Structure 1
Amino acid sequence: MISLVVPTRNRAHTLRIVAPSYFAQADVDEIVFVSDAGDDDTEAVLRAVARAHPAVRMQFLRNARRLGASQSRNIGVQACSNDFVLFCDDDEFLEAGYARTCLAKLLALGAGAVSGRRVYMEVGETTADALRRFGTGLRNAVPFRPVLCEYVNGARFLGDRQQPITNAIILTRRSLLLQYPFDAAYARGNGYREESDYQMNLFVHGHAIWVTNDCHSLHLPLSQVRTGGQRTQTWRRLVWSVHYTRYFYGKYYAAYAARLGLRTPRWLALAAFTGFSVYRELLRPPLHALAMALLRRRARLAAAATR
């Protein structure tokens, strides 16, 4: 059986929506929520959901002071009683069968960790709408960028894919989590790379990381997520992303590059990531908005021409 671990802080408003999908997961008989010194009504919300699923044992743990999501995950792992552990964020649905599918892939592939695809929902979408729109991806792109060490979430690909890191909603073995715990250094700012750190630790020690199209997690629209790293100011996200990537590269880049046969030196890889981060945070949003406005205008003109 599988234990599900969910770190959280003052997200009763999102857990009220997504937590029922955790309790409905086949092969999950234990869920450990770790509140990082939260002070809202998260526990009451979760206990109300749990009462409708008596076959699933729920633990609610609360840190006396803020420790960050990474250390909260470690605390949750210590409390688990199963050999397999699935992580989920507190603002994401799990598609039915997510845990069971990941476990089957983990065992069949001899993997260290497995995730499904992550779908970012749009305002007003149902989960079925979002899955239909996403399909096997949203754009033709390379699914993994080695120099940037970035997984391209929306890239199109079929079947199962092996790569150094995937998204945060992974299933792995408790024994590996005890051997390679999450790094608590990612406790400030937006915690960028905190989930990737564990996966990269596995990768540089010879374990395989896989992502499959056979199951999905579905992230709530940002309009429904009031707090967290995604809601921080743009310049803060930029600074912390570069800061944590510098730390991350310092730990792993030499072994990572050696395993991939990557010749780019670390300083150049960090410079490339910094440039990419500036583009992603400062330039891409207005360019995307402009492109969408032009597409809408073209559609209006085409509709007018057919009248």
Structure 2
Amino acid sequence: MITLIVPTRNRAHTLRLVAPSYFVLDGVDEVIFVIDGGDDETPQLVERIAAGHPAVRTRILRHAVRLGAAQSRNTGVAASSNDFILFCDDDEYLEAGYARICLQKLRDLGAGVGAVSGRRVYMENGETPARSLHRFGHGVRPGKAFRPLLCEYVNGARFTGDIKLPLTNAVILTHKHLLQCFPYDPTYARGNGYREESDFQMNLYTHGYDIVVSNDCHSIHLPPALVRTGGQRTQTFRRICWSIYYTHYFFAKYYVPYAARLGLLAPRWLAEIAFAVFAVYRETVRPPLYALAKWGLRQRRRWVERAISA
């Protein structure tokens, strides 16, 4: 069976929406919430939801002070009862088959695969989960699913079936013994925690394991209007600085073995410069470009609808 671990901090407002989906996952008989120094009503909320699912063991663990999501994951792993661990963020729904499908793939693909994830779908404001899944399909963006020089997974890239990558999103299923061998690094505790979930995956990859991303199951991230707190709610300048800072640390740990396995010839200093430029672009230039593109699509859709009605 599978243990689901959810790090959380003052997110009762999101857990109220998404946590019920955790208790109906095929193959999950234990759910552990690790409260990272929070002080909201999360414990009471979780207890109310768990009361309706007595077959699922529910544990609520606490850090007296904030230690970060990485250490929260480690705390949950240490307390878990099962050999397989599924992680989920506290602002995402999980499809009912998510755990079962990931576990089947992890078993079928053999010892060389260290972790499996589904696709992450980001809801837009005003969208239902079903509508967001329909819009996403097999992806919404052209291009490859991974940018080697930046060491970045492209979440919305279009692809079908399953693919092997160095990294995926945070909602992974893996073996408990791998988490004990390669625990999450608590260094990523400040700021926006950038690369926190990637560190474990890259540790696996540089030790010879593959990471599999599948189109057969999905996590569905709440839209911006419903997520009021968290690392991505900090000021733009701070997000840029922390992303660059943590990428420098991440590359210092992994870039040499990562580049060797991938056959990447660029030196680390060039990769860090490229990432810094990308981080500035992503936080300052890309958002208005995306907004303009969405406005154009809406206008085109309205024009087509008017033409049909005429």
Fold match by TM threshold 0.5: yes
Counting only pairs closer than 5 Å after superposition, residues 105-116 of structure 1 correspond to structure 2 as 105-110=105-110, 111-116=113-118
Shift of 1:302: 5.9
Distance in 2 between residues matched to 1:303 and 1:132, nearest whole Å: 20
Matched with 1:15 is 15
Gaps in structure 1 of 5+ consecutive residues: none
In structure 2, do the counterparts of structure 1 residues 124 and 257 end up closer, same or farther at CA, with 3 Å as the change threshold? same
Distance in 1 between residues matched to 2:2 and 2:295, nearest whole Å: 46
Matched with 1:123 is 125
The CA deviation string for residues 63-94 of structure 1, in whole angstroms up to 9 with x for no partner, is 01110000011000000010000000000000
Matched with 1:270 is 272
Matched with 1:184 is 186
Find out whether 1:95 has 2:95 as its counterpart.
Answer: yes
| TM-score (ref. length: structure 2) | 0.96
Distance in 1 between residues matched to 2:230 and 2:109, nearest whole Å: 34
Residue identity over aligned pairs, in percent, reads: 65
Distance in 1 between residues matched to 2:242 and 2:44, nearest whole Å: 33
In structure 2, do the counterparts of structure 1 residues 303 and 17 end up closer, same or farther at CA, with 3 Å as the change threshold? closer
The CA deviation string for residues 28-75 of structure 1, in whole angstroms up to 9 with x for no partner, is 000110000110000000000000000000000010111000001100
Matched with 1:236 is 238
Residue type of the alignment partner of 1:65? V
Size of the aligned set, in residue pairs, is 307
The CA deviation string for residues 158-204 of structure 1, in whole angstroms up to 9 with x for no partner, is 10000100000000000000110000000000000000000000000
Counting only pairs closer than 5 Å after superposition, residues 131-280 of structure 1 correspond to structure 2 as 131-280=133-282
Shift of 1:289: 2.0
Distance in 2 between residues matched to 1:256 and 1:219, nearest whole Å: 29
Root-mean-square deviation (Å): 1.3
Distance in 1 between residues matched to 2:247 and 2:196, nearest whole Å: 10
Distance in 2 between residues matched to 1:300 and 1:137, nearest whole Å: 23
Matched with 2:30 is 30
Shift of 1:140: 1.3
The CA deviation string for residues 131-171 of structure 1, in whole angstroms up to 9 with x for no partner, is 11111111211100100000000001010000100000000
Gaps in structure 2 of 5+ consecutive residues: none
Residue type of the alignment partner of 1:98? Y
The 10-residue stretch of structure 1 (16-25 or 124-133) with the greater mean CA deviation from structure 2? 124-133
Shift of 1:128: 1.3
Distance in 2 between residues matched to 1:47 and 1:228, nearest whole Å: 23
Question: The residue matched to 1:59 in structure 2 has which SS?
Answer: strand
Question: The residue matched to 2:187 in structure 1 has which SS?
Answer: helix
